[in-house]
Chain A
């Protein structure tokens, strides 16, 4: 059952997964290329670290697209096929979840091999070190978190999605009201800290992402 679902999900996922894998493999190499020839260690680290956002964005993007692909065929058919299958709905949701999560592995692996390639070039300046395992693991967790979030949203009803959008809209409106009333309270900043700060749901995305460090 899982294999069958994974096989069908692979069909709608493979292009995304392959492109993401290529991007993941290339990112560390591109970061190294950007810093090539820089002998100043601090400058080297700064340049490589400048690609931090790339890892985070790729993880988030891969998670989002794989989650969309997981539910895409069911959304298209208004879930009639899934609901008419002789398994519990929760089990079906878990099978879908597992199948999609499976495809994040190869993307993370591609990143790992990209990192190993960087190390193999020997272009890392003296005194600096590479952390391929840590970077890959973080990427994996970040992509899985993004995948889980969007998978949960995809599994929900339209009403739930509307509630979430409404909540975001209400937050923005509340901030606007505070600003208009000259109240010195940055609501968006506080919410941002809750979400991106430890142990927020997106905390894995914040902070430094760097393959090469001191």
Chain B
């Protein structure tokens, strides 16, 4: 499998308290990679490192086959970026912002930009600084998409937006993914949003990548089990035990990679499964985080 984005032992200290630590990230090419994590987990910092806006203290970053931040100009020429906060100059009108932006990208598609303009119902004469949050979000998405990038990096693109706008933006992203063989990295703390569009998921917490897997595995593979009489040593289990809580005689387990036939294995070690609970994405996300934090302690 080739990766559009790959990091190895990536570390960066930001200020005194916070750091991204030994991050190994793999974003497969032509995937829609959901970058999940609570607020302050380090998602934006990681994205800035990937795009060369920050310099790492250690580790290696490869984006679209090129080393970052050394080859940032070549990478950014093929990357559409929608930051967390609008970064386009507020004194410009939408038309001026488009003219400025298009001058830097030879791949700019004016026709598509016009179509997106109509789709997003943006008025070119309006000043960027006077746009509402939703309109600004649409504009940033338009600028990123109209570049025809090979990599689209979206940092919380729908944060704070109303459902209609969110739907419009995500629809545009999906349309783009459908029409082009591009890779999308989208960060969010809105799990349900990512569930609909992502095929890979990376979960970040406190500067570390806690989990990284295909979305299917994430959705289907994480279960909460109530297990009785389980031995301390489970031997070579066919699933991944994420966490284990003792609550009297019955233990509560969080497992990944659970398949229906695995009851027999537990029976073989003298344990019995009382209950298997399917977790939805959000619950799975929360449980994964909790188990990661417990392991860290």
Binding site for B on A (CB under 8 A): 1, 3-5, 7-8, 11-12, 73, 76-77, 80-81, 83-88
B73 within 8 A of A: yes
B137 within 8 A of A: no
Contact present for A86 and B100 (CB under 8 Å): no
> A1 vs B106: C-alpha distance in the bound complex, in angstroms?
11
Contact present for B87 and A77 (CB under 8 Å): yes
Binary flags per residue of B97-129, CB closer than 8 Å to A gives 1, else 0: 001100111000000000000000000000000
Contacts of A85 in B (CB 8 A): 76, 104
A8-B100, A80-B53, A80-B87 given; A86·B105 CB < 8 A = yes
* Inter-chain pairs besides A76-B89, A77-B90, A86-B104, 6 sampled, C-beta below 8 Å: A3-B103, A7-B99, A73-B91, A77-B87, A80-B83, A84-B83
Contact present for A8 and B89 (CB under 8 Å): yes
> A80 vs B86: C-alpha distance in the bound complex, in angstroms?
9
Contacts of B89 in A (CB 8 A): 8, 73, 76-77, 81
**In the complex, the 9 A-B pairs of residues with the closest C-beta atoms, listed nearest first:** A86-B77, A4-B103, A86-B76, A73-B89, A80-B87, A81-B87, A4-B100, A77-B87, A1-B103
Nearest chain B CB to A157 CB, angstrom units: 13
Nearest chain A CB to B188 CB, angstrom units: 19
B135 within 8 A of A: no
Nearest chain B CB to A100 CB, angstrom units: 15
Contacts of B52 in A (CB 8 A): 83
Binding site for A on B (CB under 8 A): 51-53, 73-79, 81, 83, 85-92, 96, 99-100, 103-105
Contacts of B88 in A (CB 8 A): 77, 81
A4-B100, A5-B100, A8-B100 given; A84·B76 CB < 8 A = yes
Contacts of B73 in A (CB 8 A): 86-88
Q: List 13 A-B contacts (CB under 8 A).
A: A5-B100, A5-B103, A7-B100, A8-B92, A8-B100, A73-B91, A77-B90, A81-B87, A81-B88, A83-B52, A83-B53, A87-B73, A88-B73
> A155 vs B76: C-alpha distance in the bound complex, in angstroms?
21
Q: Residue on A with the closest CB to B51?
A: A84
Contacts of A86 in B (CB 8 A): 73-79, 104-105
Contacts of A76 in B (CB 8 A): 89-90
> A71 vs B85: C-alpha distance in the bound complex, in angstroms?
19
Nearest chain B CB to A68 CB, angstrom units: 14
> A164 vs B53: C-alpha distance in the bound complex, in angstroms?
25
Contacts of B86 in A (CB 8 A): 77
Nearest chain A CB to B127 CB, angstrom units: 10
> A84 vs B73: C-alpha distance in the bound complex, in angstroms?
9
Nearest chain A CB to B244 CB, angstrom units: 44
> A63 vs B86: C-alpha distance in the bound complex, in angstroms?
29
Nearest chain A CB to B80 CB, angstrom units: 10
Contacts of A80 in B (CB 8 A): 53, 83, 85, 87
Contact present for A84 and B81 (CB under 8 Å): yes
Contact present for B87 and A84 (CB under 8 Å): yes
> A117 vs B65: C-alpha distance in the bound complex, in angstroms?
63
Contacts of B104 in A (CB 8 A): 1, 4, 85-87
Contacts of A5 in B (CB 8 A): 100, 103
Contacts of A81 in B (CB 8 A): 87-89
Nearest chain A CB to B129 CB, angstrom units: 9
Contacts of A4 in B (CB 8 A): 99-100, 103-104
